[in-house]
Amino acid sequence: MSDGQVLAPQPPEAPGWLRRELSNPLFRNAYALVANGGLTGLLGLAYWALGAKFYAPDDVGRNWAVIQAIMFVGSVTMLNFLLIRFIPQTARNTRSLVLVCYGTGAAAAAALATVFLLTLHIWGPSFQHLHNWRSAIWFLVMAVAWNLWNQQEGVFTGLRHAGWVPVVNTIFGAAKLVLLVALAASFPSDGVTLSWFIPVLVALLPVSYFIFRKMIPQHSRENAGRGPRPTHREIARYVGGAYIGGAFQYASISLVPVVVAAHLDETTNAYFQMAWALGMMLDLLALTLSMSLTVEGSFDKARLAESTRQALKRTLMLMTPIVVVTIVAAPFALEFFGHDYSSVGAPLLQILALAVLPKAFIELYIGVLRVENRTRLIAIIQAIRFLSVLGLILALFDGDHLATIGLIIVGVNVVVAAAIMPGLLRATRAKPSLTTEGRVIS
């Protein structure tokens, strides 16, 4: 290993199938992201269990509504899709690509946060305290910080060192737990939000230093002169559809609960948000193989069909038991939280778990489309998913039956998954061909 070279944490030497699995970069990155999702889920359960014990339900509901709004503003403006897709194909220009994505995403997050603050009158009672200028400034700062924090995860994944993602997020999750308890007495109204974002603000600088001074130089050295590099025109052509698709995807995760919060009182919103947060942790697991497939498919397009077959097999192997366990355990797990978290939130969580497998199939297909630069189709698929869910919720949700939201999400994703399944299966059988430029395409 050359001086200054940094490697992501690797598992110890293991026999048999595990060694073979971890020798494949597709699985190594994917399992690192699955481990991240699992650790995030466990820490999330502990976090919300402590939140339910130390904070009143109305405070939890109000704080989580604000967190979802910040997550929406920060996530819908980030450019992870660009980092994951093109970092594997760059070397000398990786630093510039990352800096452009950071700057663009941060500026967009600040602008969208300002728009949200100027329209608080339409978002319901959970957000009215943001009329205070100090709270508004904090909201803006935290939205920008969340944007950069999540783009860092895209950088690690694109660099094929996703092993660092669970390390960073485990430290983040542990810090949240400590602050959640520590702030309960002094900041009972805002402690949940502060515990979530203070660790982000503190960690941004050292993680950025590690990425720019260690990881990116290593990537540049290892990939100098390897294969054709993406042109500025190719990247620009990719951005439009991919950004729109990514924006719809993140809106389905974070904007939908903000819209629902506008129709609920703060206590009921706490029960809804708890189930929603746990359901979205399952979605994070569904996304992992798609992200790894995008990275490895971009790195070696000739093996895209083989990688897609392997990713599909692992999706079924990993996600099916997780869905079953969630459905069985949800009522008992939420009972620990006290109040009415179990009786009100568990049925919604069980239904949301049913949507995980169709979502995973959709995300795998989107991973293939990213490698193939078919961004217009990505935008169409994500738009149909988001707009169908949002439209049906606005039309059918009466503010009383939370399970309605889960049924809508399951129904929409099953229909979309059925529509894309022929394309996904074709992708597992496709054979690579060469363009006149000598590039491998699927």
Structure tokens at 78: 């980030």
Q: Are 368 and 297 in contact (CB under 8 A)?
A: yes
**Residue type at position 376:** R
pTM of full prediction above 0.85: no
Tens of each residue's pLDDT in the chain, 442 residues: 444 445 545 555 545 555 555 555 555 555 665 665 666 666 766 787 788 788 888 888 888 888 888 988 998 888 877 787 778 777 678 888 899 999 999 999 999 999 999 998 888 777 888 888 888 999 999 999 999 998 988 888 788 776 677 778 788 888 988 999 999 888 888 888 899 889 999 989 999 999 999 888 888 787 665 556 666 777 777 776 667 877 888 788 878 888 888 878 778 887 887 788 788 777 777 777 777 777 666 666 777 788 788 888 878 888 889 889 989 988 887 777 766 777 777 899 999 999 999 998 998 898 888 888 788 898 899 999 999 999 999 998 877 788 899 999 999 999 999 999 999 999 888 665 444 333 333 3
Separation of alpha carbons 288 and 283, rounded Å: 9
Q: Is 139 exposed, middle or buried (0-12, 13-18, 19+ CB in 10 A)?
A: buried
Q: For residue 321, what is the enclosing H or E element?
A: helix 304-335
CA distances from 109 to 25, 135, 139, 253, 350 (A): 33, 16, 11, 16, 33
Separation of alpha carbons 4 and 19, rounded Å: 27
Q: Are 72 and 261 in contact (CB under 8 A)?
A: no
Structure tokens at 259: 């819209």
Q: For residue 117, what is the enclosing H or E element?
A: helix 94-118
Q: Are 255 and 389 in contact (CB under 8 A)?
A: no
Contacts of 104 (CB under 8 A, 6+ apart): 79
Q: Are 160 and 88 in contact (CB under 8 A)?
A: yes
